[in-house]
Amino acid sequence: MSSDVLQKARDFEAQYGPHIPDQERPAFHATPTIGWMNDPNGFSFYKGECHLFYQYHPYSNEWGPMHWGHLKTRDFLRWERLPAALAPDQDYDSAGCFSGGAAELPDGRQLLMYTGVQRSRNADGFLQDVQAQCVAIGDGLNYEKVLSNPVLDAGDLPKGGSAIDFRDPKIWREADGTFRAVIGNRTADGSGAILLYHSEDGLKWEFVRTLDRCCNQYGKMWECPDFFPLDGKQVLITSPQDMKPVGLEFHAGNGTLCLIGDYGPETGFVRQSAQAIDYGLDFYAPQTLEAPDGRRIMIAWMQNWDTVNAKPCNCRWFGQMSLPRELSLKDGRLIQNPVRELETYRTRRVVHQNIPVCGEINLPGVRGRVLDMTVTIRPTGPERYRWFRIRVAKDGEHETIIRYRPDQGTIKLDRIRGGLPRDIVHTRSFLVRPRDGEMKLRVILDRCSLEVFANDGEQAASAVIYTRQEADAITFEAGGTAMMDVEKYDLAFDEQEV
Ligand code: FRU
């Protein structure tokens, strides 16, 4: 049954959401119906359809009391809007319905598990948020919060765990029909840990073990965990707050962390390696699902908490999701590539091969803001080029640059001239591994973002750009001479029925 608070949100989005024309949104990245979006929630299949919920504040383009917005998709690219699923309408979630997950119950209903936040005063009279895990059950459209909420609270934490930072349950159903959840928590040393819980029915939960802890090494609080098998290994991902930079691997602020290891019921999780997930400017709180065909697919909030105040004036929606990515492992590292469904929207193929590049050039048919382009760069002979630049979203005034330096093995994203007149972080560099002297960059543009996949997904880097849509030129430039192949497709979504 829908509460007044939820009904108000549903009425609001139904009335004002349609005011936003499709052209003001990305063509294939998920955005909120209206207002603010952050983390992906409940990314999962239910009755054969992919559902994506999201942290949602419909009433403004700023973070506020968290609701859950709701989308559905058949191909991870075209999103059907459904009415808001959850609103902060109970004592135990009166300060917000924070992030969580979803799973199908054996009786065919859909279970949502989220963090209910309640505001209270601490011993010094200061406001503090207490977090507990709650459950709502529904039919893919309407959800009922259960009477036993919260289903996990301070009493279910291991020793030293803080109920002030106890959030973001990601749940899944095991092959034996039982449920598991991973939840972020702050431990006595002030940094994060990921806790594993078990349930027979999705309603009564018990603590199993701590899977891994930060020990003040990778940031502080670990938010939004996920835990899944991949190519014979076990992967634990989380989004740490307050990271310190480490070389070009991790940057300051909110980051992403992928821990790869093994898991056994006796040994627990044994971590073998740690890496960042995305090396660009805007990517946080990723969540994955297992598709019916076995693919592990990840989606994230394509935004950065430290730059959320830098947005176009009076925008009617803010926050978008990344392009969903297929995950795999190679040589102990995470490989990420755009979902293969993207290829079905490719049109107007343009190919240029063996093009020598020295000054800045453009090529016939290579321009646009909604496209999928692969650029392969190699030396022309024994002499190496010093650098290579791809400029996108370009006009006389604007450009966003992807710069490759073969001597350093680095790529730098640079959106300083992307059109946003705010002094936020606009550049990020990361390490890549050229193969046989060749560098392959797949660049996906969708009106207000670019996502770069280096060498078939060895690195991925995302950035939001707010450049006017008329800025659609693309150029290539080398310091020295480089040889280049370009394969470019427009991506057309209007030409096919949903
Ligand atoms: C991560 C996060 C989560 C929390 C949510 C609140 O971006 O801080 O930990 O559940 O956002 O909107």
Per-residue pLDDT of the chain (498 residues; tens, 9 = 90+): 579 999 999 999 999 999 999 999 999 999 999 999 999 999 999 999 999 999 999 999 999 999 999 999 999 999 999 999 999 999 999 999 999 999 999 999 999 999 999 999 988 999 999 999 999 999 999 999 999 999 999 999 999 999 999 999 999 999 999 999 999 999 999 999 999 999 999 999 999 999 999 999 999 999 999 999 999 999 999 999 999 999 999 999 999 999 999 999 999 999 999 999 999 999 999 999 999 999 999 999 999 999 999 999 889 999 999 999 999 999 999 999 999 999 999 999 999 999 999 999 999 999 999 999 999 999 998 888 999 999 999 999 999 999 999 999 999 999 999 999 999 999 999 999 988 889 999 999 999 999 999 999 999 999 999 999 999 999 999 999 999 999 999 999 975 544
Choose the residue to mutate in 62, 68, 99 for probing ligand 1, maximizing ligand atoms within 8 Å of C-beta: 99
Quickly tell me which residue has 């280049």 as its tokens: 484
CB-based burial, 198-209: b 16+ in 10 Å, e otherwise:
ebeebbebeeee
Q: What's residue 497's pLDDT?
A: 47
Show the tokens assigned to 349.
């193929």
Do residues 370 and 353 make contact, with C-beta atoms less than 8 angstroms apart?
no
Residue whose CA is closest, atom 8 of ligand 1? Answer: 223
Show the tokens assigned to 496.
């096919």
Does the C-beta of 285 come closer than 6 Å to ligand 1? yes
Q: What's residue 498's pLDDT?
A: 44
Q: What's residue 491's pLDDT?
A: 98
Do residues 260 and 273 make contact, with C-beta atoms less than 8 angstroms apart?
yes
Kindly state the helix (H) or strand (E) to which residue 7 belongs, with its residue range. Answer: helix 4-16
Among candidate residues 416, 420, 423, the one with its CA nearest the CA of residue 399: 416
Does the C-beta of 223 come closer than 6 Å to ligand 1? yes
Q: Ligand 1: distance of its center to the CA of 64 in Å? A: 11
Does the C-beta of 39 come closer than 6 Å to ligand 1? yes
Choose the residue to mutate in 36, 37, 41, 55 for probing ligand 1, maximizing ligand atoms within 8 Å of C-beta: 55
Do residues 65 and 59 make contact, with C-beta atoms less than 8 angstroms apart?
no
Residue whose CA is closest, atom 6 of ligand 1? Answer: 98
Choose the residue to mutate in 117, 168, 256, 301 for probing ligand 1, maximizing ligand atoms within 8 Å of C-beta: 168
Q: What's residue 495's pLDDT?
A: 59
Q: What's residue 384's pLDDT?
A: 86
Among candidate residues 214, 86, 202, the one with its CA nearest the CA of residue 145: 86
Residues sharing a CB contact under 8 Å with residue 213, sequence separation 6 or more, in sequence order: 187, 191, 192, 193, 194
Q: What's residue 385's pLDDT?
A: 95
Residue whose CA is closest, atom 9 of ligand 1? Answer: 223
Q: What's residue 435's pLDDT?
A: 85
Q: Ligand 1: distance of its center to the CA of 99 in Å? A: 6
